[in-house]
A and B are shown apart, each in its own frame.
Chain A
Amino acid sequence: AQSVAQPEDQVNVAEGNPLTVKCTYSVSGNPYLFWYVQYPNRGLQFLLKYITGDNLVKGSYGFEAEFNKSQTSFHLKKPSALVSDSALYFCAVRDIGDDKIIFGKGTRLHILP
């Protein structure tokens, strides 16, 4: 069965510093991987995805993520954090050949001014 783990409930980063939000996954086949962001009192918004090809994926708002097959990870990164990046971030996985989508429990990102 497929699963997703976000090992950190909360990440604090000073504004201007690089940020990383971690995600590891487990699937039986090849994965489709996604990152979503949720701002307060809003639905989730798509940030980026990995389907195939280049392991470094670039997305919205300056975010990027690196697919690492050997470590089964898909960490979200940004070179320089903004206070407006403060939100709840979800990693999600879908196994090729399976219609279910599994979300992680979410990581709350606090960017400190």
Chain B
Amino acid sequence: EAQVTQNPRYLITVTGKKLTVTCSQNMNHEYMSWYRQDPGLGLRQIYYSMNVEVTDKGDVPEGYKVSRKEKRNFPLILESPSPNQTSLYFCASSLSDPPGDEQFFGPGTRLTVL
């Protein structure tokens, strides 16, 4: 089954404790992206990647890191989480060529930083 998987689905952590949210897709997609969803703000793009070893900042990259060492994986790293990073996070993927392709979203990771 074609899908985007994220782990963990739920995470409660404390300020400053490094964490990684994994994202994997099995559709051989080139484009991958991370979003955060907050009430009243909709979805905001954190980082995106057009291909392996190619990443770029979205609209809200501060406090986050990503890497794209393999085509299928795109982990999101919070090296020193803060309470304002409490949010619902989504990973998504799509074919980058043609660039008008729709995105496939993972089920989401709900992160709480105390």
Contact = CB atoms under 8 A, between A and B. Distances in A.
Interface stretch (A62-70, A71-79, A101-109): A101-109
B43 interface: yes
A49 B100 contact: yes
Contacts of B43: 44, 90, 92, 103, 106
B99 A105 contact: no
Contact of B100 (A32, A42, A99, A104): A32
Interface residues of B, number: 27
A6 B41 CA distance: 11
14 contacts: A32-B99, A43-B4, A43-B105, A44-B103, A45-B105, A90-B42, A94-B99, A96-B99, A99-B99, A100-B56, A101-B103, A103-B35, A103-B43, A105-B40
Interface of B: 4, 31, 33, 35, 40-45, 48, 50, 56, 58-59, 90, 92, 98-100, 102-108
